[in-house]
Amino acid sequence: MAQKETSASAKDETVFVTVRSDCFHTTPNCSSFNQTGNIQEKPVTALRDDFPICKRCSGEYEPSSTPYKSPLRKQLEQLDPDDVG
* Its pTM surpasses 0.75: no
Burial bucket for residue 29 (CB in 10 Å: 0-12, 13-18, 19+): exposed
Higher pLDDT, 65 or 44: 44
In this prediction, residue 43 carries a pLDDT of 94
Percent of the chain with pLDDT over 90: 31
What is the mean predicted confidence (pLDDT) over 12-18?
A: 89
Higher pLDDT: 52 or 69? It is: 52
Number of neighbouring beta carbons within 10 Å of residue 25:
21
In this prediction, residues 51-67 reach a mean pLDDT of 85
Q: What does the pLDDT average to over 1-21? A: 68
